Amino acid sequence: GLCAGAEIGKESAEKILPRNTCALIKSFVGFKLSRLCPYIESCDLVVGETTCDGKKKAYEIFEEYAPVYVMEIPQMKQACDRDLWKAEVRRFKERIEAVAGKEITAARLKEAIKLVNRRRQVLQRLNQLRAAVPTPISGRDVLLINQISFYDDPVRFTAKIGELCDELEKRIKAGEGVAPPETPRLMLSGCPMAVPNWKLPFIVESSGAVIVGEESCIGTRNIRDLVDESGDTLEEMLDALVDRYMRIDCACFTPNQERLHNVVSMAKELEVKGVIHFALNFCQPYAIEAFKVGRALEAAGIPMLSIETDYSMEDVEQLKTRVEAFLEMVR
């Protein structure tokens, strides 16, 4: 993934992007202009996606500074949208083969699917363990683990997180937690938090709560579904990949009833006292969808606090006041 979670190169980015652009977009452009992201500087191809209009237009500018390939993401989940997505996956396969100079064979793809599924499974195990009372690991630590899962070597990562899970099981059996059992349990929902964006989780957990789940593309959306491993031919495996990613309930989709159902189900399963919905300033998909998420949670008797912010530290005290007031309400 790109470096996109810090207020780096903001001034340079705002010379070529509108000021009222979300922090994530300004960040990945700013990192490139500042030449501070080793991933961008060393890569042969930057892969973008059309999950929002801001990214889509920013990539047109970004390609003047780095090689860019943009995948078209369907906005609905009808049969024609699946056909579009499969064509995009096939086109991406061909581009990767051209850049790497290697053919993606059925054997190699099957091995890769299994490898990434094992990584998802160890993160699923971690999510199950963190749900214990008292929780054996902080939400900030789990967020960092989820963030680096996009960067780290998958074999090493899976092995090390497996070892961590073994340790967490010991803590649970011993009744050891990072906070007392009566600590308010909260869940985060909304925009993905790119490393090193730990601003809101730090505010929440330093205010006397513990985060036990993240409903986002960094959290459960990334690991909830596995890719079907039963296919043997290249075509069967491409279909499995297409179907798995079409199940994602990102706010770029319309309508998005699956997300409303999943947010409520997850909040109930984790037995949280409330949900904090996070959206970056000017992120219209998540900021607007927060209304329907809040209404669905309200119908289930679960309080929600909606927060819009960016990567700056200017509003930390204001956010802390709002979070503390929310905690007083849900205790």
Q: Which residue has the tokens 């075509």?
A: 235
Q: Are 136 and 129 in contact, with CB atoms under 8 Å apart?
A: yes
Token pair listed for 66:
């780095």
pLDDT in tens, 280-296: 999 999 999 999 999 99
Alpha-carbon distance of 294 to 283, in angstroms, equals 17
What's the average model confidence in pLDDT over 225-237? 98
Q: Per-residue pLDDT tens for 31-90?
A: 999 999 998 899 999 999 999 999 999 999 999 999 999 999 999 999 999 999 999 999
Measured CA to CA, the distance from residue 281 to residue 302 in angstroms comes to: 24
- Check residue 21 and give left, alpha or beta (phi > 0: left; psi -120 to 50: alpha): beta
What is residue 317's predicted lDDT score, i.e. its pLDDT? 98
Does 2 score more than 90 pLDDT?
A: no
- Residues 151-195 pLDDT 10s: 899 999 999 999 999 999 999 999 999 999 999 999 999 999 999
| Alpha-helix residue ranges (DSSP H) falling in 101-189 | 106-130, 139-148, 154-173
Cα 256 to Cα 251: distance, rounded to the nearest angstrom: 7
- The CA distance from 135 to 181, in Å, is 8
pLDDT of residue 1: 55
Distance CA 85, CA 75 (A): 10
Helix (H, G, I), strand (E, B) or coil at 193: coil
Query: Confidence band (pLDDT; 50, 70, 90) for 30?
Result: very high
Q: How far apart are CA 292 and CA 260, in angstroms?
A: 7
Question: Is the domain defined by 1-71 classed in CATH 3.40.50.11890?
Answer: yes
Domain topology for 106-330: Rossmann fold (3.40.50)
- Residue 209 and residue 212: Cα distance in Å, rounded? 10
Place of tokens 């970004």: 62
Contact 177, 136 (CB under 8 A): yes
Which residues touch 166 (CB under 8 Å, ≥6 apart)? none
Mean pLDDT of the chain: 97
Domain ranges of the chain: 1-71, 74-104, 106-330
Give the distance from CA 210 to its chain's centroid: 19
Query: Could you tell me the two tokens for 259?
Result: 């997300």
- 282 conformational bin, left if phi > 0, alpha if psi -120 to 50, beta if neither: left
What pLDDT digit, counting tens, does each position of 119-156 carry?
999 999 999 999 999 999 999 999 999 999 998 999 99
User: Which tokens is 87 given?
Assistant: 């064509």
